[in-house]
Amino acid sequence: MRIVDHLPILQVVVPLVLAPLCALVRSRRLAWGLAAAGSVSSLVVSLRLLSAVMASGPISYAIGDWAPPFGIEYRIDVVNAWVLVVVSTIAAAVAFYARVSVQAEVGDRRIPLFYAAYLLCLSGLLGIAATGDVFNVFVFLEISSLSAYALISLGRDRRALTSAFRYLIMGSVGATFIVIGIGLLYATTGTLNMEDLSEILPQVWDARTVKVAYGFLAVGLCLKLALFPLHLWLPNAYAFAPSAVTAFMAATATKVAVYMLLRFFLTIFGAAFSFGVMGLDRLLLLLALTAIFSMSLVAIFQANVKRLLAYSSVAQIGYMILGLSFASVTGLTATLLHLFNHALMKGALFMALGCVVYRIGSVHIDAMAGLGRRMPLTMAAFVAGGLSLVGVPLTVGFVSKWYLILGALERGWWPVAVLVLITSVMALVYVWRVVEVAYFKPPPDDEPIAEAPASLLVPTWALVALNVYLGIDAGRTIGVAEQAARTLMGTAP
Q: Binding other proteins by CB under 8 A: which of 67, 206, 473, 493?
A: 473
Please state the closest distance from residue 463 (CB atom) to other proteins, in A: 19
Please state the closest distance from residue 210 (CB atom) to other proteins, in A: 37
Q: Binding other proteins by CB under 8 A: which of 204, 409, 454, 458?
A: 409
Please state the closest distance from residue 227 (CB atom) to other proteins, in A: 25
The span from the CA of 485 to the CA of 459, in Å, is 30
Distances (CA, A) of 108 to 94, 114, 154, 248, 262: 19, 10, 12, 20, 40
Nearer to other proteins, 5 or 366 (CB): 366
Of the candidates 314, 258, 257, 318, the one whose C-alpha atom is nearest the C-alpha of residue 286 is 318
The span from the CA of 41 to the CA of 102, in Å, is 21
Q: Binding other proteins by CB under 8 A: which of 5, 157, 366, 410?
A: 410
The span from the CA of 360 to the CA of 378, in Å, is 12
Is residue 277 a contact point for other proteins (CB under 8 A)?
no
Q: Binding other proteins by CB under 8 A: which of 405, 438, 464, 466?
A: 405
Stretch that binds other proteins, among 75-83, 202-210, 289-297, 470-478 (CB under 8 A): 470-478
Compute how many other C-beta atoms are within 10 angstroms of the C-beta atom of residue 100.
Answer: 20
Site for other proteins in 37-76 (CB under 8 A): none
Q: Binding other proteins by CB under 8 A: which of 7, 72, 348, 399?
A: 399
- Sign for the CA dihedral angle at 415, 276, 295, 79 comes to negative
Site for other proteins in 355-394 (CB under 8 A): 387, 390-394
Please state the closest distance from residue 394 (CB atom) to other proteins, in A: 6
Tell me the backbone φ, ψ of residue 258, rounded to 5 degrees: -60, -40
Is residue 468 a contact point for other proteins (CB under 8 A)?
no
Of the candidates 91, 111, 89, the one whose C-alpha atom is nearest the C-alpha of residue 101 is 111
Nearer to other proteins, 366 or 410 (CB): 410
Which positions ≥6 away from 92 have C-beta within 8 Å?
36, 39, 40, 42, 43
Please state the closest distance from residue 467 (CB atom) to other proteins, in A: 13
Q: Binding other proteins by CB under 8 A: which of 458, 472, 490, 491?
A: 472
The span from the CA of 26 to the CA of 458, in Å, is 27
Nearer to other proteins, 354 or 471 (CB): 471
Kind plus residue range of the DSSP H or E element containing 360:
helix 329-360
Q: Binding other proteins by CB under 8 A: which of 422, 458, 490, 491?
A: 422
Is residue 301 a contact point for other proteins (CB under 8 A)?
no
Compute how many other C-beta atoms are within 10 angstroms of the C-beta atom of residue 80.
Answer: 30
Kind plus residue range of the DSSP H or E element containing 306:
helix 305-325
Nearer to other proteins, 80 or 477 (CB): 477
Is residue 474 a contact point for other proteins (CB under 8 A)?
yes
Nearer to other proteins, 394 or 492 (CB): 394
- Sign for the CA dihedral angle at 220, 334, 421, 281 comes to negative
Please state the closest distance from residue 408 (CB atom) to other proteins, in A: 9
Q: Check: CB of residue 358 under 8 Å from CB of residue 335.
A: no
Under the rule (CB under 8 A), what is the footprint of other proteins?
Answer: 387, 390-394, 399, 402, 405-406, 409-410, 417-418, 421-422, 424-425, 428, 432, 436, 440, 471-475, 478-479
